[in-house]
Structure 1
């Protein structure tokens, strides 16, 4: 144990250096009868002149005899070093006389001492007048016309502000220790001086600020409490300055200046007049919504809070709602500080203390979920398919008009690029013309398709498939757009849109909710497209999905699927229902090695504003003319359909089509199975085979117990 620790446990301490006197804790001591000394080796000696045993003394102090022994070498090796004084802070009266000191130690600890009049110290401040820190400096600053006096929680912060030319003070011993002495020492402050309290960002700081504000207001001073924006938990004004803020920022945030432009975030804690909330959990919930409700929404279907960031609504995954609930508790102390009725003030203070418990904070947040105007449904979010959130505002894609971000739009996503309609993207356009082999119609189609993808509309009911061998720009194209679309984009596995080998929870579909651009790369050779799913996802009907271990929910797709691959997925269907949804975009140019630019992605990202402007132009064109499909896309899609038409190939090779002929169904199916086996195709059942024939217009007739197909027959061998 260190000597200072021991002295702090005793009363009536007097002395200096290595010799002290104090009241003995082992008996009723009216005058100091306990001597305390230290030997050169660090051992602490105590002797009661009234005759108390050392064992009784240490027992009364709540320590052990071994605590009086000097630290061992191995203890010091383990880091148990003796304390040393790091810095002292003088507390002087109006005339500069030293009244007492606050002493800071290493390891971090604080104690107070007063002069004994003989060049030494008495390690307590009993009976000493208490004053505000740096009182002579404060008086001088006021006399020289200071506009404000800042009150902080510690001498270090006060000195930091003085070093920047800002008058500041505090009390000794930290939060909760401001008393009548400090208040009376500032009685000279004129009405023109604004007292600004800067609390540390914790509950202790809030309590301290509320108490200081109450005492100074009762003394007739003009006081405001300011929460510095962006403070970390337990942060103080020094942390705020260390984060890059300036004195000018401080004055603006505190409302002591009138800058031409307000700071981006200003939190002046002078709350608007609040209703008289009850001192209950429900009252606290109503306080939370009163103070922060405009920036909070709750989604019952998800069981999650959302917080307004200034540009969009974001699911709270960082505990922001909890932090605002804690701030609401701190505000109750400020309610108490403003209350003039002593009984009501005490009730508020008691309620604030009770509200600090984890259970009360949890109850506040839980009850706030159902307050009026707080709850929203998933369908309420991102509801307008023609609004696009970008870095510098919200873009109405119907008109191309940019307006400020608005929390009432309930937008949850954002493209982290500013929309500047005059921006250009020469590298992007050069890239597109190269990979499209100079086909201007294809480049224009891509602009319309990408512009259409900016919206939440699915009226075209189509998906895009980029096809071609390697080194042709498909991946660069998709990756650039996926990056550009930001929160509106999602990367999906191609497996998502293919026939599954197992029936598992489709959480991969659930995670696409609310997106507008979905990219999927590399389809394995021989895999089948899930035609039913693609029809659902490219339509306008509501579909069902769920996350793993969560309930099912319904949503309306807003995304456009962009797949790319060196292999085309197999499509069994021959109906218009699937083929009218396919837009196969050919990437037929192979970029030679000497042309490949390894820094191309970086160059394209540097043109983000220009590419966004290009896409918005494409969107406006699409709304005027629709999705104008060029011949290259139409021909490539038709060729793809022919390639997938296995039954048509069989009929062309093995059958003759004529209204005057017929064939026995059994014979036709047997021929089909042999042909499929020879060509490595899947034959399927006779029932499915018959269904596909009927889709092509071939009629089945039964005669004499046998089934015939009319309109075709097998070729004679």
Structure 2
């Protein structure tokens, strides 16, 4: 009879090792296995080693030489009893749902698969019609992303659930809903960026992980979304799907959302501020005094090496230009006397009092301040870093939600608008003023409102330069100075020279002043002054720039400014490239206010409406966030005409050149003729390099001529004779000269086209013999299908005359060139 060994477990299915050990005698532990007497021979001393491999199979080895089969047979077992049973194959899971995660254009990125029994997996297309069950290197996006983006654009509420099934339950009610992949506690900051400016309601699952997940999302969205609410569901059920299945309706959910409060993160308890405590005997050193200052006045003073000291005035951080840090240092000295009075040790008390008296010297105070700098250090990029916070007298406004809260040092704001926010304030005089100066053009008024609203923020994504142009007495200066007064520190009037091209680079102190400024204006510019195009691109491009204050270190910052130039003369822009002209918005001020209507007290009267004007700006900010800046027709036409007027090269070609596929000119003679033409016409010539680049942009071909390989151009030549001066007594008015010039060019173009062009197709000329080889000569060197009406090299002159009602002797739709 075989005895059951104590190692055998009878309360579960026997494992192979259990079966073997139960039939052996003399079993003892040996390392990770056992030793026992071999049943296959008369074993007086244990000689059988027993072990288990990773799969659970039993390994037997008799050191006396018995075969494993004999040992197994002696135990009354078979060899199969040594092997673990193969695990039963897991029941095949059934796919019950798939959820597609797509990009903003609807292209599939990855898929979440739901199985029964309930489990989930993520997979992505392998590019061969199959799937890879991982998301390595795959962009994570919100579920139903295109729907989310459309709802945000329309200002609709977006619901966030914990899972795709709940999202689909809400979509069945006609609501926009989304979720993040991977479930609870997997929210990413990039999801919050997607929802920036949106109205969001979070519906958590009704358990502790669900509530924590909702809190995590709300904190991430706070300050980015236009509004955030957490809607806790009443009643039974685990999630919103269960809640709806229990009989609740869309109306119930909407009522719940309406009553839910706006999310506000809990404020951390401020650390108590106490007098400096002496930790060792080193109480009478300059460093100890610096540590005292830093401890006593933390939150009231900061040191930025590139700027100097800043102090907190209760509403913002300000540059210390009045010696406030010295006053704080004097307060610190007085605190040493208080330390002495609390000290029980007479010797230490006397030592502290003596040190307090010596610390009153100028030398000790200056040393204290110098050593405290590193202890209270801050960087320039810590300040004014939230582009959607606007500081006003009675608090800080969040421009995404238009909610106001108390001033906080930890916001690191250095600016303030000297106006109190009053949501009920109106500005009827201001609105009447706008109606007058823009002649009731509502489209233009709403555009300028959005432009100023955009300027309230530190966002520069529109990358614009606003040029407010018109003759005098049209209200543009009053408009600019009023906005400056309302915005206070956020507005800056910079010398026009800052934005104009200079022969020599000066110390960039004027550029350093732009740090943190949002509405930057320049009033008037002399006629013929040229814009510093490179600087304008830098200031409006969203890139970091380097600047410094006089006698200070250089520092880098990202400009937040929106540039407004109010001028009677359009500044000169030589560049013809898209990079500069896409930034220009020329706002025409076409109304001249008669002298009898001019009110010298108007600026003062408008300032009385400052809270209402601030509300007008805030409404523009919300409108800009909802619909963007846009370009009204008046601005588009004025900007196009401005660009045409600035294209001096096209005017030179029209006056002095012929365009012919067989024409050619050396680079030297062409450029010299251009420079002479510029001198005669009071224009500043392009550099030779820029001149050549502009010719190439117009589709002309550089070449080399003759054995000397002289540089030159094909397709253009100099006209044989310059234009004749007007005859005595001729009408030389600007309008008549332009009309005569256009008529002459029209005739010249037609004669040239009839004589030299194989094709004159549609509404504009081509050079070439066959339509498929035709190339239009134009600034952009683009190919157009027949029948379209693009601009060509003479279009600036033509458009200018047509806009002024000039003569046109053509009897068809052909455009001369």
Q: Which residue pairs with 2:410 in the alignment?
A: 408
Structure 1 685/585 Cα, relative in aligned 2: closer, same or farther at 3 Å? closer
2: CA distance between counterparts of 1:472 and 1:436? 9
Map of 1:312 onto structure 2: 316
Tell me how far apart the structure 2 counterparts of residues 646 and 429 of structure 1 sit (CA, whole Å): 40
Distance 1:680 1:422, change over 3 A: same
| CA displacement at 1:370 relative to structure 2 | 1.9
User: Which residue pairs with 2:333 in the alignment?
Assistant: 329
**Which one of the candidate residues 288, 291, 309 is aligned to 2:296?**
291
What residue is the counterpart of 1:544 in the other structure? 546
The residue number in structure 1 matching 2:522 is 520
Alignment CA distance shift 1:340-1:553 (3 Å): closer
Q: 1:604 and 1:499 mapped to 2: Cα distance? A: 35
Q: Report how many residues are paired.
A: 446
- Give SS of 1:461's match: coil
Match of 1:635 among 627, 634, 637: 637
Distance 1:669 1:324 in 2: 66
Aligned pairs for 1:438-477 within 5 A: 438-477=440-479
Per the alignment, in what secondary structure is the counterpart of residue 674 of structure 2? helix
Map of 2:363 onto structure 1: 359
Distance change in 2, residues 1:601/1:701 (3 Å)? same
Give per-residue Cα distances to partners, 1:571-604, cap 9 Å, x unaligned: 1111111111111110110001121112111111
Structure 1 CA distance for aligned equivalents of residues 334 and 486 of structure 2: 42
CA distance in 2, matches of 1:706, 1:272: 83
The aligned counterpart of 1:384 is 386
Q: 1:505 is paired with a residue of what secondary structure?
A: coil
**Secondary structure of the structure 2 residue equivalent to 1:564:** strand
In the superposition, the TM-score normalised over structure 1's length comes to 0.59
Cα distance in structure 1, aligned partners of 2:321 and 2:536:
32
Which of 375, 381, 399 is the aligned partner of 2:401? 399
Distance apart, 1:503 and its partner CA: 3.7
Deviates more, 1:544-553 or 1:313-322: 544-553
Q: Tell me, what secondary structure is at the counterpart of 2:336?
A: helix
Q: What secondary structure does 2:575 align onto?
A: coil
Match of residue 559 from structure 1: 561
SS in 2 for 1:465: strand
Residue 27 of structure 1 corresponds to none
User: Structure 1 pair 569/276, CA: closer, same or farther in 2 (3 Å)?
Assistant: same
> What's the secondary structure of 1:627's corresponding residue?
coil
Q: Deviations over 1:47-89 (max 9, x none)?
A: xxxxxxxxxxxxxxxxxxxxxxxxxxxxxxxxxxxxxxxxxxx
Local SS of the residue matching 2:302: strand
Distance 1:576 1:472, change over 3 A: same
Q: How does 1:664-703 map to 2 (within 5 A)?
A: 664-666=666-668, 668-669=670-671, 671-684=673-686, 686-703=688-705
Partner-residue secondary structure (3-state), 1:526: coil
Choose from 301, 320, 344 the match for 1:340: 344
Name 2:653's counterpart in structure 1: 651
Matching residue of 1:578: 580
Gaps of 5+ in 1: 1-268
CA-based RMSD of the aligned residues comes to 2.3
1:529 aligns with 2:534: no
Instruction: Give the Cα–Cα distance (whole angstroms) in 1 for the partners of residues 364 and 678 of structure 2.
Output: 71
- Corresponding position: 1:609 with 2:614: no
Q: Distance in 2 between matches of 1:572 and 1:419?
A: 43
Residue of structure 2 equivalent to 1:431? 433
Aligned partners of 2:306 and 2:548 also within 8 Å: no
**Structure-1 separation of matches of 2:407 and 2:492:** 23
Q: Deviations over 1:503-556 (max 9, x none)?
A: 432322222222111111111011111112211222112222233344433222
1:242-293: CA deviation from partner (whole Å, max 9, x where unpaired): xxxxxxxxxxxxxxxxxxxxxxxxxxx9956845464132222222222211
How has the CA–CA distance of structure 1 residues 678 and 350 changed in structure 2, closer, same or farther, with 3 Å as cutoff?
closer
Question: Are residues 635 and 336 of structure 1, via their aligned partners in 2, closer, same or farther at CA, if it must alter by over 3 Å?
Answer: same
Q: Which of 621, 625, 632 matches 1:623?
A: 625
- What CA distance in whole angstroms lies between the structure 1 residues aligned with 2:598 and 2:318? 39
Paired residue for 1:596? Answer: 598
Say which SS state the counterpart of residue 529 (structure 1) adopts. Answer: coil
Counterpart-to-counterpart distance in 2, 1:661 and 1:289: 78
Q: Distance in 2 between matches of 1:276 and 1:708?
A: 82
Work out the CA distance in 2 between the residues paired with 1:354 and 1:714.
86
For residue 390 of structure 2, give the secondary structure of its aligned residue in structure 1.
strand
* Offset of residue 677 of structure 1: 4.3
For the residues of structure 1 that align with 2:549 and 2:335, how far apart are their CA atoms?
A: 39
Corresponding residue number in structure 1 for 2:500: 498
Paired position in structure 1 for 2:752: none
